[in-house]
Homo-oligomer: A and B are copies of this chain.
């Protein structure tokens, strides 16, 4: 996507066979939808960015200053090489996550989708919790999760999420980001699930910790501390507070109870595509002095991973005058299935 300071509409640049999809699904003017030649797909020498450079030249912009998101997931080293080679008179520099930073504060229209994503995520997590039981294979839980993500709520369907659902069982709860197997859920087992829902590609992610059987006190205690920490942090998440202040409130509750969390406790969320539903801008962590304003959205990822187990009771939230308002409404604490 090319965006020019003095142009009203962006320019879509992509594979020729996908140009028609851009005509059908966007309101970009026809002359701003430009396909590249099919032989450049996975070509050993040529590259689509050769024709992107040509396009920029044709528009008379070949000696302009061009900001590019150098760390965007699909802006490969080879893309960069071909762009720079094709535009020797341009000044190509890293604009960092410029567009994502511009999207940090959500409009009212965007918040409608964020809340709808939250509703779908709530329904999806509750469906997972309903399915989880002694002897059920992990993948059957995940199959239901996917079904619920797309079915949505009250006819408001879901889109594909940027990240697949995640499930950790037993010792696996001592780490995040595992996917499913065909292992059966055993008795007296701890599970952690992280999953999102997407509405018009706006994401609400959520984590819950589930115990099948009678939970040991160390698990109950950790979950309680996490919930206390989340509550305290969300209360702090008002306009004017900084990202690091919110993290500090959370970390203080943890430390007082003998725990700590090494990794950041949250990140900005919004419109996204695979492989990440985070916006890669503001993070709830020490050193991030971004000031919160109404309409920012975060995933408060309160996972604490100890040596042999872990727990998380995370919440996606929107910053309001009254603090962080939850986008989901799932039981806030350890879920016990007996």
Most B CB within 10 A of own CB, among A146, A155, A267, A285: A146
Tell me the A44-93 residues at the B interface (CB within 8 Å).
Answer: 44, 47, 68, 70-81
From A173-181, A207-215, A228-236, A325-333, the one touching the partner chain is: A173-181
Whether B143 pairs with A150 at a CB distance below 8 angstroms is yes
Nearest chain B CB to A56 CB, angstrom units: 17
Tell me the A137-170 residues at the B interface (CB within 8 Å).
Answer: 137, 139-140, 142-144, 146-152, 155, 157-160, 164
Of all chain B residues, the one with the shortest Cβ separation from A74 is B73
Of all chain B residues, the one with the shortest Cβ separation from A47 is B71
Contact of A176 among B21, B68, B77, B264 (CB under 8 A): B21
A97: B residues at CB distance < 8 A: 42
Whether B77 pairs with A177 at a CB distance below 8 angstroms is no
Q: A143-B147, A275-B274, A283-B41 are in contact. Are A178 and B25 (CB under 8 A)?
A: yes
Nearest chain B CB to A179 CB, angstrom units: 7
Contact of A80 among B17, B80, B96, B148 (CB under 8 A): B80
Tell me the A253-287 residues at the B interface (CB within 8 Å).
Answer: 262-264, 267, 274-275, 278, 280-281, 283, 285, 287
A218 within 8 A of B: no
Whether B151 pairs with A263 at a CB distance below 8 angstroms is no
A151: B residues at CB distance < 8 A: 139-140, 143
Whether B264 pairs with A38 at a CB distance below 8 angstroms is yes
Contact of A77 among B71, B144, B182, B267 (CB under 8 A): B71
1/0 per residue, CB under 8 A from B, across A288-312: the answer is: 0000000000000000010000000
Nearest chain B CB to A70 CB, angstrom units: 4
Q: Which residues of A contact B (CB under 8 A)?
A: 16-18, 20-21, 24-25, 38-39, 41-42, 44, 47, 68, 70-81, 94, 96-97, 137, 139-140, 142-144, 146-152, 155, 157-160, 164, 171-172, 174-182, 262-264, 267, 274-275, 278, 280-281, 283, 285, 287, 305
